[in-house]
Structure 1
Amino acid sequence: MTHAVEPVEYDVVVIGAGPVGENVADRARSAGLSTAIVESELIGGECSYWACMPSKALLRPVVARADARRVPGLSGSVQGPLDTAAVLAHRDAYASHWKDDGQVAWLESIGADIYRGVGRLTGTKAVSVTGPDGTEHRLTARHAVAVCTGSRAVVPDLPGVADAFVWTSREATSAKKVPGRLVVVGGGVVGVEMATVWGALGAEVTMLVRGTGLLPRMEPFAGELVAEALTGAGADIRFGVSAASVRRQAPVGPVTVGLDSGESIEADEILFATGRAPRTDDLGLETVHLKPGSWLTVDDSCRVEGTGWLYAVGDVNHRALLTHQGKYQARIAGAAIAARAQGVPLLETDRWGAHAATADHAAVPQVVFTDPEAASVGLTLAEAEQAGHRVRAVDHDLGAVAGAGLYADGYRGRARMIVDLDREILLGVTFVGPGIGELLHSATIAVAAEVPIERLWHAVPAYPTISEIWLRLLETYRG
């Protein structure tokens, strides 16, 4: 039985309490706006329990061991297997054991009201929340509703897949034991990271990649170096191959994967790392004349086009499906909501103002935590050329940098910067190699701030560090 209650009015209603929704709520409350936040699962969202935190907790011991094995005087001490139980316990701790008490306490500390249940739009500035016990709450917003519901893993509609108990990223990051044989479908970030983890923990990994390389959204050499390392670690990577069917008789039994070539593979688990879809299918979008299940198109303040009150922040707007970019958008959207609520005119044409998500167009950073790491920001060479820029790609061997040689014996890596020849600024940077994730923010600053090459020349990297690669790239460019 549904128990209806009278509507409760807030300045802002946020649907989705992951990192993005939490940040929108925080910004709204900081501006003095009353705020409700709605969540149907765990407060803290995908990143905290099934994505960023558990996956990186799993990867850190794997990469640390690999780094140690390349250091003289230490390599002989780390030749044994990883302590699987300790690795999984480390993961569990970083996922807060799938309990959200700490996240709830934080939201309560900023003064946001939490509603547990499924939130749906019911009209302009109106949201209903159906709780786990069937209780319905009706919320209205004076100023804004922010949709921060994120995205979900897409599993292709293959014969047998619905009954095969397949893995998505959620199962891959939260599994309680190592599968003997793991098939990974897809060669993107989730695919390569999970192949790295489970392969290092003892699984026999087979990767089925429809395209011709891994990490297709990065420079080709990134995927090549990661593929070489995965193959060296024992993974069987098959390019130009797709899964055509999946069959499993019981939840814990073996799974048979039919390939489009007519062959078949038997494994203990199969992970589909084949993309994401917006979690907007059960959001009530039709009540405000938007298409259910669609990505939501927004302006640079993250306001949904054609509305004056609805915001879509994070994955749902499809601008950059990354937690750090979603939190960046949340800061922008929160500031814009507050300014509009207070009647402060927004400088819509100020691309570097507090109310414009400029970086989502040109300076999106990402790190892939494999061994070697791959990191990029901005445009690849192909993307820059396709956009019509007159560019030059400047490449350098990372292993030739003194700091890299000290970091690891036999260091292998590569760096590339994409120079806009007309403006002499950087449009993109890519690094691949052990320990390069921490290099990326310097590249992000250079790309986002459009620092001229002539000024970058005076940003002297410390010797001997891996960051000396900046000097080598600039020397190569200047000739």
Structure 2
Amino acid sequence: MTVQYDLIVLGAGPVGENVADAATAAGLTCVVVESELVGGDCSFWACVPSKALLRPPSARDAARRVDGAKQAVSGPLDVAAVLARRDSFVSDWDDSGSLPWLESVGIDLVRGHGRITGERRVEVTTADGETVVLEANHAVAVCTGSAARVPNIPGLADAQAWTSRDATSVQNVPASLAILGGGVVAAEMATAFVALGSAVTVIARSGLLAGLEDFAGEAVGKRLRSDGATILGDSPVSVNRTGSGKVSIELDSGDTVTAAELLVATGRTPRTTDIGLESIGLTPGDWLSVDDSLRVDGVDWLYAVGDVNSRVLLTHQGKYQGRAAGRAIAARVSAPKTQAEPWGDLAASADHERVPFVIFSEPQVASVGLTAEAAAGAGYRTRVVDYDLGAVSGAGLHADGYEGFARMVVDEDRGVVIGVTFVGADVAELLHAATIAVVGEVPLTRLWHAVPAFPTMSEIWLRLLETYRAGE
């Protein structure tokens, strides 16, 4: 059976859904192909379940930071209730609730594994072994995302180690957990499992949250240690699942870490190994290089959106790319030579130096734009403004003894903010104001007139600007 559509989308996660939605809204016919669950990793194994696991300890800690409330909160978390609440957010890994939306906006769904077999042609092998052939009148969008990268460490492949999927879908919290890696997944899952009662050991050769402002990893590491976690700056040289069922990790220091489970959180790899890229002259297993309209370099009908292009591996940025790609595809149907202009609807311009993200550790880390080091490396003439977030009156009211920190990176030549990082309890809610300042390139002379409400933590903006002015 061969079916024609204007657009074929491989992957029905949030990114693929946004590509299809934008294109369908512009009048194109669309089909999405999905081999697992509609909603993808974000909905079932990543963003949603991880934050569902992290929210109960965060809410408990928020109460414990306020005298008068902390007396009402005692005892450990109810682990069974935490996991049950997580299960409710992932609908017990049932995607039937996602299907009515697809139907309501006119997007067709084909379940099965899709492979590109030629120009604008996709063959889908369904669960029962049948083959459905799809032909695109205009474009194919690859939105297959990424998977956990498992490093080549002797014994690791046979040790039945966890990836982030196993951690976020856990049904029985292990007594002990070793985490290999120091990035976002490692920081968040260490935070969650310490709170759930596991003895956690983080093995991070480069330390926690390398690549961010130094104070971010230092603050998260300090809190994890105070909660009983161990953080080691070593590298594993071998891994073994022992006869007792535990995992033994030999380190280059000569020490050995033993834990009930091992979580590998050492980065991501593109899901492009078995989608037929070789049929159109591309290399399976590679990230797909794209322009700002998310069109694959050298293939005018193929788009790669979200993690698979390696620009920004974040769901909200992938959805942003999806909106741009869907509109660009639709625009090129009527005008094939349409180019995506910077800051227009058809380009993902913010994916270069203006990316916002939150790490839901304790404390939270919220950042947008460039770090001080990255800005200097990119050639900007900068001034870095630091401020103790705990000294802001709104923060003191928010939590007794509030500890936090803020950094603003200013492009001195243009007088605009190009990077902001906040560390502290609940700083995620400060991030969008920073994102608007950075993406909108709001001049500091104008930003001075954006008056923060009293008494809120947003007063940090006034303090940062005052500190900047005092240094003029």
- TM-score (normalised: structure 2): 0.98
Equivalent position to 2:408, from 401, 417, 437: 417
| Deviation at residue 347 of structure 1 after TM alignment | 4.8
1:310-367: CA deviation from partner (whole Å, max 9, x where unpaired) = 000000011100000000000000110010012276353x311111111001210000
* In the alignment, structure 1 residue 328 sits paired with structure 2 residue 323: no
1:407-445: CA deviation from partner (whole Å, max 9, x where unpaired) = 101100000010000000011000000010010000000
Q: Determine the structure 2 residue equivalent to 1:102.
A: 97
* In the alignment, structure 1 residue 19 sits paired with structure 2 residue 14: yes
Give distance in 1, aligned partners of 2:270 and 2:382: 34
* In the alignment, structure 1 residue 89 sits paired with structure 2 residue 84: yes
Equivalent position to 1:352, from 337, 340, 343: 343
* In the alignment, structure 1 residue 267 sits paired with structure 2 residue 262: no
Give distance in 2, aligned partners of 1:287 and 1:98: 34
* In the alignment, structure 1 residue 229 sits paired with structure 2 residue 223: yes
* In the alignment, structure 1 residue 145 sits paired with structure 2 residue 140: yes
1:152-195: CA deviation from partner (whole Å, max 9, x where unpaired) = 00111222212211111000000101110110111110001000
Give distance in 2, aligned partners of 1:217 and 1:100: 36
Equivalent position to 1:312, from 287, 299, 304: 304
1:82-113: CA deviation from partner (whole Å, max 9, x where unpaired) = 00011000111111110000112211221111
Give distance in 1, aligned partners of 2:324 and 2:46: 23
AA paired with 1:330? G
What secondary structure is seen at the aligned counterpart in 2 of 1:324?
helix
Give distance in 1, aligned partners of 2:237 and 2:71: 44
- Where do residues 19-98 of structure 1 align in structure 2 (5 Å cutoff)? 19-98=14-93
1:241-282: CA deviation from partner (whole Å, max 9, x where unpaired) = 0122111146x8211111122221211000011000000010
Give distance in 2, aligned partners of 1:406 and 1:347: 50
* In the alignment, structure 1 residue 300 sits paired with structure 2 residue 295: no
Q: Determine the structure 2 residue equivalent to 1:391.
A: 382
Q: Determine the structure 1 residue equivalent to 2:364.
A: 373
Give distance in 1, aligned partners of 2:202 and 2:364: 18
Q: Is the Cα contact below 8 Å between 1:395 and 1:414 reproduced in 2?
A: yes
Q: Is the Cα contact below 8 Å between 1:66 and 1:371 reproduced in 2?
A: no
Q: Determine the structure 2 residue equivalent to 1:246.
A: 239
Q: Determine the structure 2 residue equivalent to 1:430.
A: 421
Structure 1 gaps of 5+ residues are none
Q: Determine the structure 2 residue equivalent to 1:8.
A: 3
AA paired with 1:410? G
AA paired with 2:99? V
Q: Is the Cα contact below 8 Å between 1:153 and 1:276 reproduced in 2?
A: yes
AA paired with 1:170? R
AA paired with 1:431? F
The two structures, once aligned, show a CA RMSD in angstroms of 1.1
Give distance in 1, aligned partners of 2:189 and 2:425: 17
Structure 2 gaps of 5+ residues are none
What secondary structure is seen at the aligned counterpart in 1 of 2:409?
strand
Give distance in 2, aligned partners of 1:226 and 1:173: 20
What secondary structure is seen at the aligned counterpart in 2 of 1:63?
helix
Give distance in 1, aligned partners of 2:196 and 2:51: 14
* In the alignment, structure 1 residue 400 sits paired with structure 2 residue 395: no
* In the alignment, structure 1 residue 163 sits paired with structure 2 residue 158: yes
AA paired with 1:337? I
| Deviation at residue 197 of structure 1 after TM alignment | 0.5
What secondary structure is seen at the aligned counterpart in 1 of 2:467?
helix
Give distance in 2, aligned partners of 1:11 and 1:383: 41
1:116-174: CA deviation from partner (whole Å, max 9, x where unpaired) = 11111111101110111110111110111000000000111222212211111000000
What secondary structure is seen at the aligned counterpart in 1 of 2:313?
coil
Give distance in 2, aligned partners of 1:391 and 1:324: 28
What secondary structure is seen at the aligned counterpart in 2 of 1:362?
coil
| Deviation at residue 13 of structure 1 after TM alignment | 0.2
Q: Is the Cα contact below 8 Å between 1:365 and 1:377 reproduced in 2?
A: yes
1:454-476: CA deviation from partner (whole Å, max 9, x where unpaired) = 00000000000000000000000
Q: Determine the structure 1 residue equivalent to 2:469.
A: 478
What secondary structure is seen at the aligned counterpart in 1 of 2:22?
helix
Q: Is the Cα contact below 8 Å between 1:339 and 1:345 reproduced in 2?
A: no
AA paired with 1:146? A
| Deviation at residue 217 of structure 1 after TM alignment | 2.4
Give distance in 2, aligned partners of 1:306 and 1:68: 55
What is the number of residues matched between the two proteins?
A: 470
Give distance in 2, aligned partners of 1:273 and 1:326: 20
* In the alignment, structure 1 residue 209 sits paired with structure 2 residue 204: yes
- TM-score (normalised: structure 1): 0.97
Q: Determine the structure 2 residue equivalent to 1:285.
A: 277
Give distance in 2, aligned partners of 1:238 and 1:162: 22
Give distance in 1, aligned partners of 2:359 and 2:412: 29
Give distance in 2, aligned partners of 1:78 and 1:258: 40
Q: Determine the structure 1 residue equivalent to 2:330.
A: 338
What secondary structure is seen at the aligned counterpart in 1 of 2:430?
helix
Q: Is the Cα contact below 8 Å between 1:347 and 1:353 reproduced in 2?
A: no
- Where do residues 446-461 of structure 1 align in structure 2 (5 Å cutoff)? 446-461=437-452
Give distance in 2, aligned partners of 1:96 and 1:305: 38
What secondary structure is seen at the aligned counterpart in 2 of 1:13?
strand
Q: Determine the structure 2 residue equivalent to 1:128.
A: 123
In the TM superposition, structure 1's runs of 4+ consecutive aligned residues that sit over 3 Å from their partners are 344-348
Give distance in 2, aligned partners of 1:246 and 1:133: 38
What secondary structure is seen at the aligned counterpart in 1 of 2:327?
helix
